[in-house]
Structure 1
C-alpha cells in the first residue's frame, strides 16, 4: 500500500509565500541575483541623491579624463569624463533610473494591462475568444524589439514613447500567458464544483484563479523585465529611445562608441551594468521557478 509522508506541524503552518522563500533561499545563485537586483533597484531610486556631480554639467578643462585608477585620473571623477567633460560616474548612476527603473515601470504596466486582457480572453467563449486568440498569436510571431521599433517609428523617438512602445511590445506575451493560465484553472474539477455551487465569474476569478496563478504572474514579470532592459538599451543605442543629453546606458554606449580606443570606459562600464542587470533578473527568475516547482512537489 502507498505510504503517505507526514509533514511536521511547523511546515504545515507555513504560508505558501514562506515556503516559497524557504526554497528560494536554498539557492545561492538566486540569492546573489536577488542582492544584485535589490542594489540596482535601490540605485534607480536613490541615484539623484548620491551623484557627486551633475550628470549634465560640462567642463571644457576635463575632456576625456581617464578613470581615477589611471595615472592621469582624478579621485573626484572615479570613472573619468566623456568628450564633453561630463562626469561618467554620475551619468551612469542616473542612467540606472532610465534603463532599469523604466524597465520596471513598463513591466508593471504591461502586467496590469495583460491581466485585464488575458482575463477577458481566458474567461470568454465563442467567436469573440477565437478572434482575439488568433490576433494574439499573430502578434506573438513578431519579436518584442522589432515590435517596439515599429511602434517607436509610429510614435516618434523619445524616452516617453519608448516606454509606451516596450509596454505594448511586452503586452502580447503577458496576455497569452495569463490567458493560458486562466484557461487551465477553469478546466479544473474544483472550479467546476465551485461554479455548480452557485459562484459567479468574479468569485471564481478572485477566490480561485488569482490565488493559483500569482506564481506564474511573478515568473512572467521577471522574464519580461530582462527583455525590457535589453530593449530600452537597444533603442537608446539605435537613437530611437532616449535622446541626448539623457544618461541612459544604451545612449551612453552609442555616444562613446567612436571614442572606444581613447576612452573605453564609456562603452565597457555601461555594457557591463546592462549585463549584470539582465543577469540578476534571470537568476531571480530561475530561482523563483525552481522554488515554485519544489514547493508544489512538497
Structure 2
C-alpha cells in the first residue's frame, strides 16, 4: 500500500469511523469466544422478557428474552457468528468469482459469453429473493443460508475481476511477458491477479456488510439456524411479537446489525476513495 493511499486513509474520517465500528465488533466477537455474562443458550422462564436490571442476584444488562435468555450474552455471541458467516461467505464468493472472472476476462470468446450469461442469470432477480429460492431448494439452516448468500455474491466479484483482467491483459508489460514466452499461468499469477487486488479488497469489504445483512434476513424469515443459536436475525424474529411491551429484547440485535453493516460500508467506501487515484485526488483537493 503506497504512501498516498495511507495518507488518504488517515485523512478520511468516514473510513476511520467505519474501521472503529468494525474493530469494536471484532473485539466483542473475540471476547465472546472466552467470556459472556451468561450462557447464551441458558433458559430461565422466571426471567421471561425481563427488563435491563438485576434479577435474583444476576445482572441482565440488556434484559432477557421470551424464554429468559440473557440478551447481552446472545448479542455478543451473535457478533461472533455474524462476522464468521460474513468472512466465510465473502471468501467463498471471492474464490469462485475470481476464477470465473479471470477465465472470462483473460481468455474471452465462448468462455466469456457463457460465464457472463450465467452471471446475468444470477443477477436477474434481487439478491435476497434469489437467496430465498436457493435456501428453499437446499433446505433451512445456517450453512445453506451461507451457501445461498455466497452464490448470490459471486457475480459481484466475477464482474470486477473480468473487467480488471480485460484491462490488465492489454498492458505493455503483459504483452512483453507473453512475447518473451511467459505462459498463461505465470501471467495470471504474476501480472493479472496482483494488479486486481485493490478493487477486490474494496468489494470484499462492502460484501461483508451485505453478507451479514442478507444472512440475518434469511434467519429472520426462519431459513437460518435453529432457535437456540444466538444469531441476530433469528433473535429479532423471535422477539418481534413482544416489541410493544418488551422493546429492549429487539433493540440490541437490531442496532448491532445496523452498526456493523454501516461500519463495513464506511470502511469500503473509504478504501475505494483511497485506492482509486481519481477519487483520491478529488478528496484531497
TM-score between the two structures when normalised by the length of structure 2: 0.92
Post-superposition offset of 1:222: 1.2
Q: Which residue of 1 aligns with 2:147?
A: 164
Structure 1 unaligned spans of 5+: 1-15
Verify: 1:153 aligned to 2:136, yes or no.
yes
Task: Give the drift of 1:17.
Answer: 4.3
Whether 1:54 and 2:44 are equivalent positions in the alignment is no
Aligned residue runs from structure 1 range 111-260, under 5 A: 111-260=94-243
Q: What's the offset of the Cα at 1:74?
A: 7.3
Any stretches of 5+ residues in structure 2 without a counterpart? none
- Whether 1:288 aligns to 2:268 is no
Three-state SS of the structure 2 residue aligned to 1:76 is strand
Moved over 6 A (4+): 71-75
Matched-pair contact (CA < 8 Å) for 1:118–1:175: yes
Kept after mapping to 2: 8 A contact 1:29/1:283: yes
2:244 aligns to what?
A: 261
Q: Which has the larger radius of gyration?
A: 1
Hey, what does 2:9 align to over in structure 1? 24
- The alignment's TM-score, normalised by the length of structure 1, stands at 0.88
Q: Which moved more, 1:210-219 or 1:44-53?
A: 44-53
CA contact (8 A) 1:53 1:87 kept: yes
Conservation of the 8 A alpha-carbon contact between 2:47 and 2:55: no
| Conserved 8 A contact 1:140-1:173 | no
Deviation at 1:75, TM superposition (A): 6.6
Deviation at 1:127, TM superposition (A): 2.1
Q: Does 1:33 align with 2:33?
A: no
Q: Deviations over 1:104-130 (max 9, x none)?
A: 211111111211222222222322332
Judge conservation of contact 2:71–2:252 (CA < 8 Å) in 1. Answer: no
CA contact (8 A) 2:65 2:249 kept: yes
2:69 is equivalent to residue 86 of structure 1: yes
Secondary structure in 1 aligned to 2:150?
A: helix
User: Given that residues 49 and 249 in structure 2 are in contact (C-alpha distance below 8 angstroms), is that contact kept between their aligned partners in structure 1?
Assistant: no
The 8 Å contact of residues 233 and 250 in structure 1, kept in 2 or not, is answered as yes
Question: Structure 1: how far apart are the matches of 2:169 and 2:141?
Answer: 42
Counterpart among 24, 30, 40 of residue 45 in structure 1: 30
Deviation at 1:73, TM superposition (A): 10
User: CA 1:29/1:129 → structure 2, altered by over 3 Å: closer, same or farther?
Assistant: closer
**Worse-superposed segment, 85-94 or 120-129:** 120-129
Question: Which deviates further from its counterpart, 227-236 or 172-181?
Answer: 172-181
Offset at 1:206?
1.8
Q: Which moved more, 1:80-89 or 1:92-101?
A: 92-101
Deviations 1:13-36 (A, max 9, x none): xxx345422211111221121011
In the alignment, structure 1 residue 272 sits paired with structure 2 residue 261: no
Q: Residues of 2 paired with 1:113 and 1:127: CA distance?
A: 19
- Cα distance between partner residues in 2 of 1:280 and 1:64: 30
Q: Distance in 1 between matches of 2:134 and 2:168?
A: 34
Q: 1:258 offset after TM fit, Å?
A: 0.6
